[in-house]
Structure 1
Amino acid sequence: MNRERAQTRHLHIAHGATVQDITVDDVGEETVETYLENWLWGKQSLRPSTHTSYEIHIRRYLVPYLGNLPLTALRPLHVERMYRELAMLEGTRGRPITVSTLRRVHATLMSAMNTAVRRGLIERNPAATVELPRTPRPTMNAWTAEELGRFLTLTTADPMNMMFVLLGLVGLRRGEAVALRWSDLDLNAGLLRVEQTSVRVGGRTVIGPPKSSSGQRVVAIDEETARRLQWHQCRQRLSVLRASDERVPPPTQVFTTERGEPLDPAYVSRLFSRLIAHHNLRPIRLHDLRHTSASVGLASGESLVEVSRRLGHSSITITADVYSHVSPEVAKSSAERLARTIYHP
Structure 2
Amino acid sequence: MSGRRGNGESSIYFSEADGKWHGWVTVGTKPDGRPDRRHRMAATEAEVKKKVQELEKQRAAGKVRKAGRPPTIEQWMDTFLDTVCARKVEDRSMAPRTLDDYRSKNRLYIVPGVGKHRIDRLAPEHLDKLYLNLLRTGGEDGEPLASSTVLKVHRIISRALKVAMQREMITRNVATLLDAPSADETEIEPLTRAEARAVLDEAARRRNGTRWSVGAALGLRQGEALGLRWSYIDFETGMMRVHWQLQRLKWQHGCEDPHACGARLHRKACKKNCTTHKNYKRGCPKPCAKDCTEHASRCPQRKDGGLVFRTPKGKNKRIVPVPAPLLTALRVHRTTQKRERLAAGELWKEHDLVFCQENGKPIDPRHDWEELQDILDASGVVPRGTHASGRHTAGTLLTENGVGLRVVMEILGHSQPRVAQRYTHVSSPLAEDAATKMGDALWG
Both proteins in one fold, TM over 0.5: yes
- Please tell me whether the aligned partners of residues 295 and 327 of structure 1 are also in contact (alpha carbons under 8 angstroms): no
Give me the whole-angstrom Cα distance separating, in 2, the residues matched to 1:168 and 1:330: 21
The corresponding residue for 1:280 is 380
SS in 1 for 2:425: coil
Structure 2 residues not aligned, in runs of 5+: 1-67, 89-93, 252-305
TM superposition score normalised by structure 2? 0.63
The 5-angstrom pairing of residues 27-46 of structure 1 reads: 28-40=69-81, 41-43=83-85, 44-45=87-88, 46=94
Deviation at residue 261 of structure 1 after TM alignment: 1.4
Give me the whole-angstrom Cα distance separating, in 1, the residues matched to 2:349 and 2:244: 22
Deviation at residue 177 of structure 1 after TM alignment: 1.0
The corresponding residue for 2:311 is 209
The corresponding residue for 1:69 is 117
Deviation at residue 71 of structure 1 after TM alignment: 1.6
The corresponding residue for 2:402 is 301
Structure 1 residues not aligned, in runs of 5+: 1-26
The one-character-per-residue Cα deviations of 1:182-231 (angstroms, maximum 9, x if unpaired) are 1111122211011123333326333322232x222211112221121122
The one-character-per-residue Cα deviations of 1:244-285 (angstroms, maximum 9, x if unpaired) are 463535441111122221123343233212321233213223
The corresponding residue for 1:257 is 357
Q: 1:310 aligns with which of 386, 389, 411?
A: 411
TM superposition score normalised by structure 1? 0.80
Q: 2:102 aligns with which of 37, 54, 69?
A: 54
Q: Closer, same or farther in 2 for the Cα pair 1:78/1:289, shift >3 Å? A: same
Q: 1:90 and 2:139 equivalent? A: yes
- Please tell me whether the aligned partners of residues 154 and 181 of structure 2 are also in contact (alpha carbons under 8 angstroms): no
SS in 1 for 2:362: coil
- Please tell me whether the aligned partners of residues 202 and 375 of structure 2 are also in contact (alpha carbons under 8 angstroms): no
Give me the whole-angstrom Cα distance separating, in 2, the residues matched to 1:28 and 1:123: 14
The corresponding residue for 2:228 is 180
- Please tell me whether the aligned partners of residues 163 and 255 of structure 1 are also in contact (alpha carbons under 8 angstroms): yes
The 5-angstrom pairing of residues 155-234 of structure 1 reads: 155-202=203-250, 204-212=306-314, 214-234=315-335
- Please tell me whether the aligned partners of residues 142 and 326 of structure 1 are also in contact (alpha carbons under 8 angstroms): no
Deviation at residue 325 of structure 1 after TM alignment: 2.0
Q: Closer, same or farther in 2 for the Cα pair 1:120/1:295, shift >3 Å? A: same
SS in 2 for 1:206: strand
**Letter of the 1:263 counterpart:** I
Deviation at residue 147 of structure 1 after TM alignment: 1.5
The one-character-per-residue Cα deviations of 1:7-32 (angstroms, maximum 9, x if unpaired) are xxxxxxxxxxxxxxxxxxxx945222
Give me the whole-angstrom Cα distance separating, in 1, the residues matched to 2:210 and 2:439: 39
Q: Closer, same or farther in 2 for the Cα pair 1:329/1:143, shift >3 Å? A: farther
Give me the whole-angstrom Cα distance separating, in 1, the residues matched to 2:438 and 2:327: 35
Give me the whole-angstrom Cα distance separating, in 2, the residues matched to 1:209 and 1:337: 46
- Please tell me whether the aligned partners of residues 246 and 308 of structure 2 are also in contact (alpha carbons under 8 angstroms): yes
Give me the whole-angstrom Cα distance separating, in 1, the residues matched to 2:75 and 2:333: 52
Deviation at residue 96 of structure 1 after TM alignment: 4.4
SS in 1 for 2:177: coil
Deviation at residue 308 of structure 1 after TM alignment: 2.5
- Please tell me whether the aligned partners of residues 32 and 69 of structure 1 are also in contact (alpha carbons under 8 angstroms): yes
Give the count of matched residue pairs. Answer: 313
SS in 2 for 1:193: strand
Give me the whole-angstrom Cα distance separating, in 2, the residues matched to 1:74 and 1:162: 54
Larger radius of gyration: 2
